[in-house]
Amino acid sequence: MAPKLTMGEKLKDLRTERGLTTKEVCSLTGVSENIYNGLENDIGRDTGYSRIIALARFYNVPTDYLLGFTESRITRNVELNELGLSDKAIAVLLSKKQSPDLVSRLIEHPDFTHLINAIDVYVRQIASPNIEAVNDMTRIAERGIEGMFADASSKPEGYADAMRFMDETVVNEDEFLRYRITERFNQILRDVYREYAAEYAESAAKRSAPMKDMAEGMLAVLDRIKSGEVRVDSVEDAVRLMAEEMGINDDDIE
C-alpha cells in the first residue's frame, strides 16, 4: 500500500496538477501566502478550519482528505446511483470482506475497463452474430471448393493445406472469447502482483525466514543421517533429532 501523504504533500500535488503557483492559489482562495506556504511545508497548521474548507472547495476534494482522515479525493456527497451499482454490489463493497486496496488496484489498472468490456461481450453474446456470419462464409467457401474438385481424380497442389486452413479459421466463440478474457485478467494479475512484490519484498522475506530456517535445519539432519554421522532406530528418533536441530524440546512435541 502506498504511504499516506501529508497535508502539505497533498496541497502541493493538487496545485502542481493544475499548473498553479502558490501566489495564484492564494489570490483565488483568499488564503494568505504566509499561511498557505506554511500548510504546504507542513508547518503552522493552526490556521483555522475556514481556510481548510476554502482550499478543499477550491480543489474540489473533501476536507477529510486534506486532514488525513481519508486518502480518497472524491467528495462524500457523490450519489451512489452515479456508480450504477446494484444494492447487493454496494453491500459487498461496504462489507469489506475483501481487501479494499486490492479492489482499488484492480479497478485502477489501465486494462481493467477492457477486461470488463470483454466479459460484457462474452456474457451478452454481443459478438455472436458477427462471428457466426464469418464462420458461415468460411463454411460456404469450404463446400464450394470441395464441390469444385469432387469429381477430380486428383486434387491440385495445396488443396489439403487450403482445406485445413479453412477448418482452423472457423472460430469457436466460447473458447476464443474466454481465452481473450483469461489472458487479459492474467496480465492484470501479473502487474498487480509485481506492485505488491515490490512494496512488500522485505516483509515477505522476514515472514518466510523462519520456514526457510526450519527447512534448512531438517535437511541438515537428513544429511547427517544419510552420511552416517548420526544413527536413528525409529521415526520417533528422527523427529526428535529434527526438533532438537530447530530448538524444540520434548515438552513442545508432546
pLDDT tens string 137-176: 888 888 888 888 877 778 888 888 888 888 777 778 888 8
pLDDT tens string 113-133: 999 999 998 888 887 888 888
Is there a contact between 141 and 166 (Cβ–Cβ < 8 Å)? Answer: yes
pTM of the model: 0.48
pLDDT of the residue at 45: 59
Three-state DSSP string of 153-211: CCCCCCHHHHHHHHHHHCCCHHHHHHHHHHHHHHHHHHHHHHHHHHHHHHHHHHHHHHH
